[in-house]
């Protein structure tokens, strides 16, 4: 079944999931499809966390599985890496949210596609976003958030960047499990992406 890997990850069956990833790669399955399976699995994990079926240790465990899978998949994509950087992107998970799975996949995909990415990590204070935007001068800022409580942090971060006089010439994209067009409007971001491919396409549209 095509969904088997997704469910193995979502059910936190690490050994079986890693074995399946290795098997799929040996069968020349597109590595990007495995990253997409990671994303879909984390959507399930996120819903279980939001509903109270999963707790923080489960979220951490899922993150560890994704990290191990990414280590296995990454060498199969590195050969396509573009050495000439196209532009700068700052990305981080906003204050109050420790989710980094989706963010890490976006960072990886942007890097592979030739962008100079500065990953600020998780639970990033608003002031850190502002100071790094001032320092790095990126064309794009990515705000990641998996939990609904992150929306206010995204909004405040966007407003702080604008208040600091740094909004002109900087595109802000947001992403996470619950993000949609209404949230984009609330946050006052330029666009939102459902996955890492969408993030790459936005950067291509804005930077080239």
- Determine the pLDDT at residue 2: 65
Residue-wise pLDDT for 88-131, tens only, equals 999 999 999 988 877 887 887 788 778 999 999 999 999 999 99
Quote the pTM value.
0.67
Give the mean pLDDT of 58-77. Answer: 85
**In this structure, what token pair is assigned to residue 69?**
């899978």
Strand order in the sheet with 116-119: 116-119, 88-93, 140-144, 171-175, 191-193
Predicted confidence band of residue 147 (pLDDT cuts 50, 70, 90): confident
Domains of the chain in sequence order: 4-78 (1.10.1240.10), 88-206 (3.40.50.280)
- Determine the pLDDT at residue 1: 45
- 64's enclosing H/E stretch is helix 56-73
């Amino acid at each position: 079944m095509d969904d088997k890997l997704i469910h193995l990850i979502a059910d936190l069956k690490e050994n079986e999931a890693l074995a399946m990833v290795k098997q799929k790669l040996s069968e020349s399955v597109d590595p990007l499809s495995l990253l997409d399976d990671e994303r879909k699995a984390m959507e399930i994990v996120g819903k279980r966390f939001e509903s109270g079926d999963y707790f923080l240790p489960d979220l951490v465990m899922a993150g560890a599985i994704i990290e191990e899978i990414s280590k296995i998949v990454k060498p199969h994509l590195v050969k396509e890496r573009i050495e000439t950087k196209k532009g700068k992107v700052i990305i981080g998970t906003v204050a109050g949210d420790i989710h980094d799975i989706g963010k890490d996949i976006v960072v990886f995909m942007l890097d592979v596609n030739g962008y100079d990415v500065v990953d600020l990590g998780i639970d990033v204070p608003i002031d850190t976003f502002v100071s790094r935007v001032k320092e790095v001068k990126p064309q794009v800022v990515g705000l990641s958030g998996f939990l609904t409580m992150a929306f206010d942090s995204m909004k405040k971060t966007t407003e702080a960047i604008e208040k600091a006089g740094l909004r002109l010439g900087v595109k802000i994209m947001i992403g996470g499990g619950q993000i949609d067009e209404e949230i984009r409007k609330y946050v006052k971001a330029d666009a939102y992406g459902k996955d890492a491919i969408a993030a790459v396409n936005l950067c291509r549209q804005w930077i080239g």
